[in-house]
Amino acid sequence: MCIRGHAVAFAIAGLLLILTPLAAGIPWPACDTAGNYTANSTYGGNLLSLAAALPSNVSKSPTLFAKALIGTAPNIVYALGQCNGDQSASACHDCISSSFDAAQKMCTGNKGAAIFYDTCLLGFSDRDFLNSTTNSEDQEVQLYNAQNITSDGADRFNATAYELLSGMAEYMATLNSEDKFVTGTIPFDATYPNIYGQASCTSDLTPGQCRGCLDATIAEMPRVFIPNTKGARVAGLRCIVRYEVYRFYNGSIMLQLPGNQAGRVEGKKNNKTGKILAIVLPVVVAIVASMAMCLFCWRRTKSTSKRSLSLTSHMEDMECIESLLIDLPTLRMATNNFAENNKLGEGGFGAVYKGSLPNGQEIAVKRLSHNSRQGIGELKNELTLIAKLQHKNLVRLVGVCLEEEERLLVYEYMPNTSLDTFLFDSEKRKDLEWSKRFTIINGITRGLQYLHEDSQLKIVHRDLKASNVLLDADMNPKISDFGLARLFGQDQSQDTTKRVVGTYGYMAPEYALRGQYSIKSDIYSFGVLILEIVTGRRNSDSYNSDQSVDLPSLVWEHWTTKTIMDMIDP
């Protein structure tokens, strides 16, 4: 486990030298260095009295939780302790006692400390934190597994892990008992059959307060952790969330989410995929045909009527469908049978290949992966939306192919690929002088304005980022990848989803935290993108050890210290 935290000034190797082995495992401290005391002081004496009484108070409690305060101002010590719901009373007593010992060794002389074991937590301070219902940053540690998911399913792993965490938070909000502890699991794939999770709150929180604390803590994780890590936790004095690819807790599994079973049994995958395609593809083809006819015939007649064009009223215009559908042999020939040297890139839903049609038109072919959990849904969504959108700052759909087991979307070719290939390359970035960057920002703005206000449809993109902004030969930007986009009614201002999808680091807080999205969600993502364009830094660089905060927070720090010019790309 690697650690990210506040006021932690030691190495894990040092811990192992300082401490004797403890049954509870390795302690993780957050030390408050704002105030100090001496061993023979009144505050030190009060802390010793507390250390003698609190372990018994916690272990004898039905919920393995207790709060305490001792002394008079200015030497009052406030404290709380709690053990996991899967611990025995004796193990809990030993863990809380060990926490006091660890605090004396790791946070020597500090008036405030928070100690976290795998099985219990302890916090004390000279300030009153007992009425707080959320975690305080100086009483919190963040831990993550240094090993990452490196397979093609990394994005799906992230989504599945956060689905489990959100499910446990939702489950916790339904508990009326004082015992606020839940274990959970969700199936993933053959390599990692299950992802395991655990969440807990202190027993004095109401269900609503517990849910709020967990939601806020889960929302922190994309900001402080390396993407695709195999395990992570945020531990605070009010609530804790954790997930791993192995079972790390005792007792039974309290919450089992269904997850996605596709691909878990390799021998059945091809048959299952074939059956799904056999059922879904005819439906998709019918949708595509209907949509293509309505769209292209509308463009041909240029009617000003707002009424829908029906399929039956335009059966004579079969060439409308043919203008959108492209046969598979043509695309195989165009891409040299999807040759590796024609691959432009690869994302969560599949690879993109460069090609050339018989008429000489250069194209980019998006080949959806057969194993993509959202492939069919993304295909239908992208076809339904982007084929109806016509704007110079949106990528143009050329055609679609649904033959055999292939699901192919054909777009206009953008010779300068995506913005991220320039922006985050130390050499290519030099070609982006300020006038070009302004042109790019202006073009993205116009594209968003069209999506949000000027098109016949009102659309929230939900995944705006540098890799989804393509650049043509003149470096003009075009927004792409509408697989996660959502259509709004003209009078609709926001919506809520239980499944948060997109790219962490670009998500608006209300979307990542509560699943609420609107055009404001895209504006937040656009704000992060502008910061990347101006600074030349990738927001996800905050996951590296040399940058402890995300890009917006780093920019804010420089703004408040009047050193903002240091952040501008030289």
Dist CA 359 CA 363 (whole Å): 11
How deeply is 57 buried, as exposed, middle or buried, from its count of CB atoms within 10 A (0-12, 13-18, 19+)?
Answer: middle
Per-residue model confidence (pLDDT) at position 501: 62
Give the pLDDT band (50/70/90) at residue 12.
Answer: very low
Q: Give residue 110's pLDDT.
A: 92
The residue to which tokens 């007593």 are assigned: 93
CB 243 within 8 A of CB 197: yes
DSSP 206-241: -HHHHHHHHHHHHHHHHHHS-TTBS-EEEEESSEEE
SS3 content of the chain, % helix, strand, coil (to 5): 40, 20, 40
Give the integer Cα–Cα distance in Å for 349 and 152.
Answer: 9
* Helix ranges restricted to H, 404-504: 419-423, 434-449
What amino acid occupies position 270?
N
Strands 516-518 and 494-496, by their bridges, are antiparallel
Contact 82, 67 (CB under 8 A): no
Whole-number Cα distances in Å, 397 to 292, 364, 372, 440, 503 = 11, 10, 21, 21, 23
d(CA 515, CA 562): 35
- Answer yes or no: is 458 a known binding residue: no
Residue 526, pLDDT > 50, answer: yes
372-409 pLDDT tens trace: 544 555 566 566 666 667 788 998 888 888 887 788 88
Strand order in the sheet with 343-347: 343-347, 350-356, 362-368, 408-412, 397-401
| Residue among 32, 155, 204, 463 flagged as catalytic | 463
Name which residue leads in pLDDT, 130 or 276. Answer: 130
> How far, CA to CA in Å, does 298 sit from each of 284, 389, 391, 454?
21, 13, 16, 18
Q: Which of 22-26, 287-291, 344-348, 478-482 has the lowest mean pLDDT?
A: 287-291
With beta carbons less than 8 A apart as the criterion, state whether 85 and 183 touch.
Answer: no
Across 480-500, average pLDDT: 63
506: confidence class by pLDDT, cuts 50, 70, 90 = confident
Structure tokens belonging to residue 38: 């001496």
Give the residue from 459, 477, 476, 458 showing the smallest Cα distance to 468.
Answer: 477
pLDDT of residue 371: 58
Is residue 294 predicted with pLDDT exceeding 90? no
pTM of the full structure: 0.46
pLDDT in tens, 74-124: 899 999 999 987 788 999 999 999 999 999 888 989 999 999 998 899 999
Check: CB of residue 509 under 8 Å from CB of residue 553: no
Higher per-residue pLDDT: 555 or 86: 555
How far apart are alpha carbons 97 and 52 in whole angstroms? Answer: 8
Q: What is the pLDDT of residue 317?
A: 32
Name the one residue in this structure whose structure tokens are 């105030």.
Answer: 35
How far apart CA 94 and CA 519 sit, in angstroms, is 52
Q: Is 155 a catalytic residue?
A: no
DSSP 17-58: HHSPP-TT---EEEEEEEEE--TTSHHHHHHHHHHHHHHHHH
The pLDDT value recorded for residue 131 is 86
Q: What single-letter DSSP state applies at residue 454?
A: I
Check the CA dihedral 40-41-43-46 and report its sign: positive
Q: What's the token pair of residue 25?
A: 């495992």
Give the mean model confidence (pLDDT) for residues 62-74: 91
Identify the pLDDT of residue 123: 94
Lowest mean pLDDT among 298-302, 402-406, 424-428: 298-302
Averaged confidence pLDDT in the chain: 77
Q: What count of other Cβ atoms lies within 10 Å of the Cβ of residue 223?
A: 19
440-485 pLDDT, tens digit per residue, is: 999 999 999 988 888 777 788 888 999 889 999 899 999 987 767 7
Give one word for 213, left, alpha or beta, with left for phi > 0 and alpha for psi -120 to 50: alpha
pLDDT classification of 492: cutoffs 50, 70, 90: low
Nearest to 173 by CA among 208, 219, 132: 208
More confident residue, 342 or 304: 342
Cα 380-385-388 angle, rounded to 5 deg = 125
Measured in whole angstroms, the distance separating CA 561 from the mean position of its chain's CA atoms is 30
The b-or-e profile of 261-290 (16+ CB within 10 A means b, else e) is eebeeeeeeeeebeeebeebbeebeeebbe
Residues in the chain: 570
